[in-house]
């Protein structure tokens, strides 16, 4: 129920921002279509903590700035490998542990790995993620586990 309410609020917020027409007729169309979408997703049973993880909101706000910073750093590193032959690539594949409690935490971790340039999660199986890294340094940074610990922390606080 909590998730259904927050989903309705979120959908209507998005509708308001996208439409830009604030007359009663169109607003009521917006309300009706939002409620219809919520009704369909409740029936499909996707308005749970996985499909709509509101319990992570505050922790995610702390995690994202750090992730954005990592993305900027690794973007510069990959751009250097593309541009300069003094930064050669050394593609390799490593297995990194994903000890997050929930599937959601593991997916957030795997997606964060993919989102940072230079590392791609190829497969998530059980507690392990198969990662393709562009350079050995990138693989080493990831194996250092800072991103892993931060995702665990974000999940744990909720």
Binding site for other proteins (CB under 8 A): 14, 17-18, 20, 71-72, 75, 78-79, 81-83, 89-95, 110-112, 114-123, 130, 132, 134, 136, 139
The least distance separating other proteins from the CB of residue 114, rounded to whole angstroms, comes to: 4
The least distance separating other proteins from the CB of residue 22, rounded to whole angstroms, comes to: 11
- Residue 124 pairs in a beta bridge with 129
56 or 89: CB nearest other proteins: 89
Number of CB atoms found within 10 A of residue 38's CB: 20
9 or 122: CB nearest other proteins: 122
Concatenating the DSSP letter of every residue in 23-75 gives -HHHHHHHHHHHHHHHHHHHHTT--STTTS-GGGHHHHHHHHHHHHHHHHHHH
The least distance separating other proteins from the CB of residue 43, rounded to whole angstroms, comes to: 24
Instruction: Take residue 138 and report the two structure tokens written for it.
Output: 């990138």
Whether 118 and 77 have beta carbons less than 8 Å apart is answered as yes
39 or 50: CB nearest other proteins: 50
């Amino acid at each position: 129920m909590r998730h259904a309410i927050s989903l309705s609020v979120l959908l209507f917020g998005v509708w308001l921002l996208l439409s830009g027409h604030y007359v009663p007729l169109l607003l009521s169309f917006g309300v009706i279509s939002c409620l219809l979408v919520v009704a369909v997703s409740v029936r499909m049973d996707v308005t749970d903590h996985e499909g709509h993880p509101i319990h992570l909101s505050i922790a995610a706000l702390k995690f994202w700035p750090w992730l954005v910073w990592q993305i900027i750093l690794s973007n510069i590193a990959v751009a250097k490998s593309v541009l300069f032959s003094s930064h050669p690539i050394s593609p390799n594949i490593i297995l990194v542990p994903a000890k997050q409690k929930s599937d959601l935490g593991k997916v957030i971790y795997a997606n964060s790995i993919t989102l940072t340039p230079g590392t791609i999660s190829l497969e998530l199986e059980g507690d392990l993620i198969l990662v393709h890294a562009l350079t050995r340094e990138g693989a080493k940074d990831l194996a250092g586990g800072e991103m892993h610990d931060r995702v665990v922390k974000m999940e744990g606080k909720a």
